[in-house]
Amino acid sequence: MTIIEDYLNGLFADDFSAKNMTSVLLKRGISVGADILDVDNRSKELAQADLYMVLFNKLGKGSESVSKGNWKRSTGGANINSTDRSAYLAAANLIYKKYGESNAFYGMKDGTNLW
């Protein structure tokens, strides 16, 4: 048995937070922990598109460093540039269009996708 969260996380390089995943699943009427065999392809693909939009809206994060005495731990930052955002948006809109979703996002107010 493969749960839907594992399936969807497996489509992306990074794992989504439980909050992001739960929100997307509930929006699509998919039960948390559902077996992928119990979820139709349309719902799976639309949930995938919603996760692309999570990435599109994600903010960059600077690196962090924590130290105590001789011990030190650092984590790298994450930078999401306009090319990445455009790719996420295009991938999501392709799926939304395939299923006739009216909430497809086409950019900022003027449609240019510029910040």
Domain range list for the chain: 4-98
Per-residue pLDDT at 81: 76
pTM over 0.85: no
Per-residue pLDDT at 85: 85
Per-residue pLDDT at 110: 46
List alpha helices for the chain, DSSP H: 4-9, 18-27, 41-57, 82-98
pLDDT digit of tens for each residue in the chain (115 aa)? 899 999 999 999 888 999 999 999 999 999 999 999 999 999 999 999 999 999 888 765 545 567 777 777 765 545 677 788 889 989 999 999 999 987 666 555 444 555 4
Give 61's DSSP letter.
B
User: Do 30 and 47 form a contact (C-beta atoms < 8 A)?
Assistant: yes
- What's the Cα-to-Cα distance from 9 to each of 29, 32, 49, rounded to whole Å? 18, 13, 12
Per-residue pLDDT at 109: 47
